[in-house]
Structure 1
Amino acid sequence: MKTVVLPFYVKLACVLLSILLLGYLAILGHTILAPLILGFLCSVLLLPLANLLERNFQMPRSVSSLLSSIALVILIGAVFTLLGTQLSSLANDWPAFKQQLLKSAADLQFWISDTFHVNNKAQIDYINQAASKSLSTGTTLLSKTLMSLSSLFLLLLFSFLYTFFILFHRRLIVRFLVNSFKENHSPVVYEIVYQIQYIIKRYVVGLFLQMLIVTILACLAFYFIGVKYSFLLGLITGIFNIIPYVGIFTALVITVLITFATSTATNVLFVVIALVVIHAVDGNYIMPKIVGSKVQINTLIALIGLVLGEMLWGITGMFLSIPIIAIMKVVFDRVPELKPWGMLLGDESSEEGSYMKIPKRTRKQKIENLLD
């Protein structure tokens, strides 16, 4: 039988069309895919706890999966409770914030009048005109905010459900993946499955360690500078720092505004310097040593993935883009036809086959954990 060889431009057109189709399907399936992938990441992280409850305490799979999922909810709830407690104390000082902001606005108004020779009445008229335009869109803004909160609640709810069911049916899922390929490919499928589990677990743990270290550094810096809400602002900095590239700048804006309303301009300058130094330490040491060593993806691909993730799924897509690319690299490295793409996703400084450096004992334990 004669084999048909397609021209290069036909292959390229098929690849581009497939990428566009996948992107379109990802946009349409955002409501299902985003919590499903997030639940998958959480289930991989909770798998050791579920195995511990099953083996050491003889719990049924359903009970161990449920308790593991609830433990994650309690941990996340504790973080949000701590953050809410700090925000409530911040809200109690709102009158002082308002007075400080009014004073700063008056000083700014005087500076504009003295520098640009724009009288106070013209400035007030311009502000009133801008405020009236903002009020006309206030209802739309409020409705969008409520929809965002409801979407976040649904995302967390379905992520919890997916986490539980993936943990509960993990043996069935693995066997489905193995049986989807020929029998001689079973070792490769098992290899890919436990490598994905290994990498995701280390990546998520590294991400939490990074958040903890950045939070501690920011809290200490703000405390010694003399910022009033040093713990709250340090916690916000650590949490927002999880969002690559843009998170630290968002935390910088929030921290500068709160510091400006509660302290002097000198402290604001010190806060900016402290955050720049923390970001430099995080980008050059913490991120490469703790997180980057877990997922060896080059900076260009990571940046493209973040942009595409934000375009498709917003902040959720930015958070999920790095682990998704890491999973793709694991698959590409194990499929001979896709190895060049795995090289493209990887880092030049990383050694070839670095994902394969998993102890044999750990490898055997992981396969047993997936099938038990």
Structure 2
Amino acid sequence: MFKNKRNLLYITAVILAVYFLFLGLSKAQGFFAPLTTAIILSLVVLPLSQRMEKRIKRPYAALFNSLLLFIVSLGFFALISFQIRSFSEDWPMIQETMIPKVEQLKIFVLEHTPLDKEDLKQSGSQSLSVTSGMKKRVASFVSGISGFLANYLLTFIYVFFLLNYRHIFKNFLLTVFPDEKRDSVKKVLTRSAKVAPQYLIGKLVLMGLLAVLYSIGLGISGVSNFILVSVIAALLTLIPYVGNIIGFSMAVAFGFLSSGDITVLIGIALTFTVAQFVESYVLQPYVVGDRVDVHPFFVIVSVIIGNMVWGIIGMILAIPIMGIITVILLHIKSMEPFGILLSKKKFQSNDGN
């Protein structure tokens, strides 16, 4: 009886600890999100930095790699801003094209559903109230830009210091553990450091191939700015699951909404369907493969938790973080069962199941 109560107490304590952990991470997003992003980015450019350090001093190599990441991120934001500008220029034409279709949809709804004109008027008034609320959202968005820029620049400052002074953190971890465990700690650090770059390099190759597939399909379908749309749609696959939906919506906005041609919509749908099939069953297994040893179920769970804690940036960081956690758990004897649970490698039991 006492043992059952003690187990119940432990389970309750663990649940509360996990809850307050994620609550604290969510509240401290302004500090932890840029730092975690900087750690992942530092691991990505670490092999390049190590090669450069054979010819130049470490501070210069760290500065070069920090600036390289900064320039790449600026290029990504330039692509996004160019696409938004193009969309705003096409917006009057999109409105002109879609107004007749909206009217046709209203007539169809009135003829084939129990809704009447009063219901449609109420929905219209609600849309007006939503439109009026957009001003407040825009104001809050503008006020948040300064905070975003501060965290954005701070991320690359973190990258510089992490690359330049990484030996301090490594020595700290080695001195924390007893001497007999230092070899295993070094092994864990080495394997953990390889997870993020392997995953992101595989993802970059995958995004390049997807950009080619999207460009061919969207170009044949008649989507305007199809090359730029394809590149951005491929880059958005960094956001697991949600990125594909955003990319498809963007292609629809520049294709179907601009032209109003149903064949363009069919072409877009076929393009993304074929591309997703090729990605899931051809490119993903051979290009990305087993670079991140995390079971698909826990990939989905980690992405959902990442979104709840840190939003989009949490979704992007979720998979490499889970990969690092899995490597650490697999190399700690007492925590190995949890590593096996998260890993997608099969564990052979005595009965062979």
Same fold (TM over 0.5): yes
Contact 2:79 2:232 in 1 (8 A): no
Consecutive unaligned residues of structure 2, counting only runs of 5 or more, are none
Aligned mate of 1:232, from 206, 228, 248: 228
Residue 213 of structure 1 aligns with which residue?
209
- Tell me the CA shift for residue 302 of structure 1: 1.0
1:273 to 260, 265, 270: 270
Q: 2: CA distance between counterparts of 1:89 and 1:162? A: 34
Letter in 1 for 2:180: N
Q: CA deviation at 1:83?
A: 4.0
Output the CA distance in 2 between the equivalents of 1:13 and 1:292.
38
Partner Cα separation in structure 1 for residue 286 and residue 141 of structure 2: 38
Contact 2:218/2:268 (<8 A) preserved = yes
Amino acid in the other structure paired with 1:293: D
Asked if residue 16 in structure 1 is aligned to residue 15 in structure 2, the reply is yes
Question: Structure 1 residues 20, 113: CA separation in 2 closer, same or farther (over 3 Å shift)?
Answer: closer
Kindly state the Cα deviation for residue 294 of structure 1 after the two structures are TM-superposed.
0.1
Distance in 1, matches of 2:52 and 2:314, equals: 32
Map of 1:365 onto structure 2: none
TM-aligned CA deviation for residue 77 of structure 1: 1.6
Tell me the distance in 2 between the aligned counterparts of 1:113 and 1:11: 59
TM-score normalised over the length of structure 1: 0.84
Partner of 1:318: 315
Whole-Å Cα distance in 1 between the matches of residues 327 and 267 of structure 2? Answer: 43
Of 260, 280, 290, which residue of structure 2 is paired with 1:283?
Answer: 280
How far apart, CA to CA, are the structure 2 residues paired with 1:10 and 1:256? 53
- Is the 1:41–1:200 Cα contact (8 Å) retained in structure 2? yes
1:41 pairs with 2:37? no
Match of 2:52 in 1: 53
* RMSD after superposition: 2.7
User: 1:141-290 to 2 correspondence within 5 Å?
Assistant: 141-263=137-259, 264-290=261-287
Distance of aligned partners of 1:82 and 1:350 in 2 relative to their CA distance in 1, 3 Å threshold: farther
Letter of the 2:26 counterpart: I
1:169 and 1:74 mapped to 2: Cα distance? Answer: 22
Query: What TM-score do the two structures reach when normalised by structure 2?
Result: 0.88
Worse overlay, 199-208 or 12-21: 12-21
**Which amino acid is the alignment partner of residue 155 of structure 1?**
N
Assess if the C-alpha contact under 8 Å between 2:293 and 2:345 holds in 1: no
CA displacement at 1:148 relative to structure 2: 4.8
Runs of 4+ in 1 over 6 A off after TM superposition: none
CA distance, structure 2, for counterparts of residue 305 and residue 323 of structure 1: 10
Shift of 1:258: 2.5
CA distance in 2, matches of 1:83, 1:24: 31
Written as runs of structure 1 = structure 2, the 5 A alignment for 1:78-117 is: 78-112=75-109, 115=112
In 2, the alpha carbon distance for the partners of 1:124 and 1:210 equals 45
The structural deviation recorded for 1:168 is 1.1
Q: Shift of residue 170 of structure 1?
A: 0.5
Alignment partner of 1:77 is 2:79: no
d(CA) in 2 for partners of 1:240 and 1:261? 21
Q: Bigger shift: 105-114 or 304-313?
A: 105-114
CA distance in 1, matches of 2:333, 2:283: 34
The SS at the match of 1:323 is helix
Unpaired runs of 5+ residues, structure 1, are: 353-372
Superposed displacement of residue 118, structure 1: 7.7
Q: Name the SS of the counterpart of 1:137 in structure 2.
A: helix
Cα pair distance change 1:42/1:118, threshold 3 Å: closer
Per-residue deviation, 1:271: 0.8
Identity in percent: 23
Compute the displacement of 1:333 (Å): 1.0
Are 2:221 and 2:263, in contact at CA under 8 Å, matched by a contact in 1?
no
- Rate the CA distance shift 1:9–1:109 in 2: closer, same or farther, 3 A: closer
Aligned AA (2:219): Y
Indicate conservation of the 8 Å contact 1:87/1:232, yes or no: no
Cα pair distance change 1:334/1:100, threshold 3 Å? same
Deviation at 1:185, TM superposition (A): 1.2
